[in-house]
Structure 1
Amino acid sequence: MFGQPTSPRSRVVLASTLSAGLIFSVAACGGSKDSGSSGSSGASASAIDCAPYTKFGDLKGKTVSIYTGIVTPEDTPHINSYKPFEQCTGVTVKYDGDKSFETQILVRAKAGNPPDLAIVPQPGLLKQLVATGKAVAAPPETEANVDKFWSKDWKAYGTVDGKFYAAPLGASVKSLVWYSPADFKEGNYQIPTTLDELKALSDKMVADKKMPWCAGIASGDATGWPVTDWMEDFMLRLYGPETYDKWVNHQIPFNGPESTAALDAVGAYLKNPAYVNGGLGDVKSIASTTFQDGGLPILDGTCMMHRQASFYAANWPKDKKVAQDGDVFAFYLPGKDASTKPVLGGGEFVLSFADRPEVKAFQTYLSSDTWANIKAKQGSGWVSANKGLDQANLTSPIDKLAASILSDPKATFRFDGSDQMPAAVGSDSFWKQATAWITGQDTKTTVDNIEKSWPK
């Protein structure tokens, strides 16, 4: 199924990251350092092997345009990470960041005026762009990098109708639970390794007169999306990746027994007055609490755990340390048993609309372990599922945790489900009905209403 062409959720997440005022320190790859200002070279061409790009011919004086929704200040690390390629090849990369990317890229493609490359944040949007007939398949050199450095799960999201189009770029991990290491130590609470252990931990906290969970799902027009992530995590854990894929693609009904049970499993946490909403109110307060504020009660001990993605690191106050020995950190939301490791997440893909040699060369650079490691050195707030990424190059503990989860050989990655569903479901009824469910609507009515909204 095609996903929605525009994602209010991704815009909200980006705004959350920007509001945190992340500062990117630009480290030099070749041993020299610069000021880290926009447009300065954060890496030296002398530090990378230019040989992979000579096969594309003499590229001096050529220009490649790349269009994306990644804007200031997150654009600076991306722009600086392109410098080694530019210095190797003589190509100029023209970067165009646009907050309206997810709607404008479709407009441009359909009008026959697409960029050379686009950084696409959703597999559904990727499929829609391929369906315009303007996208071109990735070159063999790019595909070879993906076969070497990514799992088959990731390659599949860049493949449409059996043809490989787009290499993965960055990634986020959604299967995380935030907590206070100090509070866990004081309460002698152990990090759970199975869903049963997570439930037992929650019950132990209740017995200790602690409120286990806090949550917030308010997000403007996108209110409700955090519930969809909870449900997707439980669909993946209770029924496995194959059933999850069928559910996302509507090969099984949204109101079937699997999704009904998954939502009930989420309800055992989010609709349990003994479990939520620590420091914020009753169960219904989840709907009026912003997702940015949802985990903050952890800091004063009125809440013990908060399920939210790796990008939530941007929402903690600047004076709080995010680390295993810090004020807050996160652990992997466990699977049904310790032998499986389902991972829910998001990511980006580089899609081409031109087959010129310089475009192919830049695609190949962005799909390489070389680029992933250069990008990692540009600062915190970014990870990749590229197996060639040296985690020592990541600068923050939460980025290292996310990368370790993504690179685990046992990990089975699945992309956010609602971002792959039709817009009428993924960014409309699913969010609205999830909110109604939080405020008192029963599970059957919720899944029935979402099923009715699915396009015929």
Structure 2
Amino acid sequence: MKRVRWLVVLAIMAMIVVACGGGGGTAEKAKVNVFGAFSGTEAQAVQSVIDDKINNADKDYTATYEGSDSFEEQIKIRVDGGNPPDIALYPQPGSVIEMAKAGKAIALEDLGFDMSALEATFGKYLLSLGEYNGKHYGLPTNTNLKSLVWYPEPAFTDAGYTVPKTWDEMITLSNKMVADGNTPWCIGFGSDAATGWTGTDWIEDIMLRTAGPDLYDQWVTHKLPFESPEVKRAFELLGDVTFTPGYVLGGAEQIPAIDFRDAPDPMFNSPPSCFMHRQASFITQFFDAADGRTLVAGKDYNVFAFPDIDPGKKGALIAGELGAVFADRPEVREFLNDFISTDVQCAQGGTDAGRISPNVNVGPDCYKDSITGTAAGAIVAALKIDGARFDASDLMPSVVGSGSFWTGMIDYMQGGPSSLDKVLKDIDDSWPSS
């Protein structure tokens, strides 16, 4: 009798175990955490795509994106403190290389990626940005075209202004605007802990159009120092815009205090408080009209390519993100494959985030408006002829690229033309010796 009772007890216990642990449908899914520099509308848009395409799909994991305006500081704290995210989306490829050198990041090859397949998807140039000692540590997840100047419509056309094709034409147009009683430019370098980066973009665009891609590459590695005549000239040309009286809303000294996300908004006042704003393709997500109306591409605003300066010197300035991986788990590898897929990347293009996919299989029809689709096509075309160059400051050692170069732009705006020699020397002096 006792034996029968024990058999009954064991049978009941077995059923309890099966009920509690045997059913896969109630098991908690694995989690993947992703950390990056973009926040606000862009972060919400990306998370919504992740939710739709991954978290609400039949996957064995869920993923959560966390953005920080102080990414550059916070990622160092987390990695150095032994608490890195599973994946970090770095705007600065130079920082990815630093993580690889420190042995913190995991190579894509070691995660099982087929590099020939990745090259077919992204091209060699973008993958090379995260290459160290023959292995690749950065997975392209986003790009944007930086060589753009935005203007308000129909006010721009109604005023009789025409799109300039050269730098000299742009300066002539700026002079005409001032003569008409208008302010040509809205410029803002403010970006919390990253204040100054938008100024470096101006220098980079000018360098491509004056020094050309080859010298640009030498500048990135400090073979061409900041105190060289070529780089100094780029700063001086920027100064021709920022220091000319009447050119910039608020004047040069106020540029570092104006947040880059707010800088274009005065274009949409009635009448416009400025008529031109140089910024990358992503900026449309921050366009905000004072009367609260929804701004429509091609109707309320338009764009022209940053103009040529010297004959024969051309290039497209691009930026974006490289995903660096700090955890080798099945769900992390699966997320990376899902996130870079044509389906997920196309879905991101259709949001308000202004994100452009580095995946060459993502066509122009994926994008919300024709302006973004055209920018995406321009990036692909530039990559095919080796005319695209990544943001130089993002490729430089972080102590320079997200340090002294940023602060140098602030010092230059606040110190004026006479401060330039010291600004350039200070940046050169900050370059690490090894």
Q: TM-score, normalised by structure 1?
A: 0.74
Q: 1:95 aligns with which of 53, 61, 64?
A: 64
Q: 2:213 aligns with which of 233, 241, 260?
A: 241
Give the Cα–Cα distance (whole angstroms) in 1 for the partners of residues 87 and 34 of structure 2: 6
Q: Provide the identity percentage.
A: 34
Q: Residue in 2 aligned with 1:131?
A: 101
Deviation at 1:177, TM superposition (A): 0.9
Q: Which has the higher helix share?
A: 2
Deviation at 1:339, TM superposition (A): 7.4
Name the amino acid aligned to 1:271: F
Q: Residue in 1 aligned with 2:22?
A: none
Check the 8 A contact 2:243/2:251 in 1, yes or no: no
Q: 2:298 aligns with which of 299, 324, 333?
A: 324
Check the 8 A contact 2:364/2:374 in 1, yes or no: no
Q: 1:81 aligns with which of 46, 49, 58?
A: 49
In structure 2, the CA distance between the partners of 1:336 and 1:385, relative to structure 1 (3 Å rule), is farther
Q: Is 1:450 matched up with 2:427? A: yes
Name the amino acid aligned to 1:202: S
Q: 1:260 aligns with which of 214, 232, 237?
A: 232
Give the Cα–Cα distance (whole angstroms) in 1 for the partners of residues 316 and 345 of structure 2: 21
Residues 17-55 of structure 1, C-alpha deviations (whole Å, 9 max, x = no match): xxxxxxxxxxxxxxxxxxxxxxxxxxxxxxxxxxxxxxx
Give the Cα–Cα distance (whole angstroms) in 2 for the partners of residues 223 and 115 of structure 1: 24
Q: 1:120 aligns with which of 73, 90, 93?
A: 90
In structure 2, the CA distance between the partners of 1:132 and 1:96, relative to structure 1 (3 Å rule), is farther
SS in 2 for 1:389: coil
SS in 2 for 1:321: coil
Q: Is 1:182 matched up with 2:154? A: yes
Gaps of 5+ in 1: 1-59
Give the Cα–Cα distance (whole angstroms) in 2 for the partners of residues 228 and 363 of structure 1: 30
Q: Is 1:430 matched up with 2:405? A: yes
Deviation at 1:388, TM superposition (A): 1.2
Deviation at 1:378, TM superposition (A): 4.6
Residues 170-214 of structure 1, C-alpha deviations (whole Å, 9 max, x = no match): 123222211123133223333233334333433444455543223
In structure 2, the CA distance between the partners of 1:154 and 1:336, relative to structure 1 (3 Å rule), is farther
Check the 8 A contact 1:145/1:368 in 2, yes or no: no
Give the Cα–Cα distance (whole angstroms) in 2 for the partners of residues 365 and 339 of structure 1: 41
Check the 8 A contact 2:165/2:308 in 1, yes or no: yes
Q: Is 1:291 matched up with 2:260? A: yes
Q: Is 1:406 matched up with 2:379? A: yes
In structure 2, the CA distance between the partners of 1:432 and 1:358, relative to structure 1 (3 Å rule), is closer
Deviation at 1:222, TM superposition (A): 4.2
In structure 2, the CA distance between the partners of 1:197 and 1:118, relative to structure 1 (3 Å rule), is same
Q: Is 1:308 matched up with 2:272? A: no
Q: Is 1:418 matched up with 2:393? A: yes
How many residue pairs get aligned? The number is 393
In structure 2, the CA distance between the partners of 1:221 and 1:72, relative to structure 1 (3 Å rule), is closer
Which stretch of structure 1 is more off in the superposition, 225-234 or 328-337? 328-337
Rg bigger for which structure?
A: 2
Deviation at 1:351, TM superposition (A): 2.4
Give the Cα–Cα distance (whole angstroms) in 2 for the partners of residues 436 and 310 of structure 1: 27
Give the Cα–Cα distance (whole angstroms) in 2 for the partners of residues 390 and 146 of structure 1: 17
Which stretch of structure 1 is more off in the superposition, 138-147 or 171-180? 138-147
Q: Residue in 2 aligned with 1:5?
A: none
Q: 2:200 aligns with which of 209, 220, 228?
A: 228
Deviation at 1:348, TM superposition (A): 1.4
Check the 8 A contact 1:175/1:343 in 2, yes or no: yes
Check the 8 A contact 1:214/1:295 in 2, yes or no: yes
Give the Cα–Cα distance (whole angstroms) in 1 for the partners of residues 133 and 319 of structure 2: 21
SS in 1 for 2:298: coil
Check the 8 A contact 1:372/1:389 in 2, yes or no: yes
Name the amino acid aligned to 1:201: L
Gaps of 5+ in 2: 1-26
Give the Cα–Cα distance (whole angstroms) in 1 for the partners of residues 407 and 80 of structure 2: 30
Q: Residue in 1 aligned with 2:130?
A: 158
Give the Cα–Cα distance (whole angstroms) in 2 for the partners of residues 259 and 386 of structure 1: 33
Q: Residue in 2 aligned with 1:49?
A: none
Name the amino acid aligned to 1:391: P
Give the Cα–Cα distance (whole angstroms) in 2 for the partners of residues 451 and 177 of structure 1: 29
Residues 238-276 of structure 1, C-alpha deviations (whole Å, 9 max, x = no match): 1122222221221221111111111111112112225x1
Deviation at 1:414, TM superposition (A): 2.5
Check the 8 A contact 1:380/1:396 in 2, yes or no: no
Name the amino acid aligned to 1:451: D
SS in 1 for 2:362: coil
> Pairwise CA RMSD of aligned residues?
3.3
Residues 412-436 of structure 1, C-alpha deviations (whole Å, 9 max, x = no match): 3323222333444334433333233
Check the 8 A contact 1:322/1:397 in 2, yes or no: no
Q: TM-score, normalised by structure 2?
A: 0.78
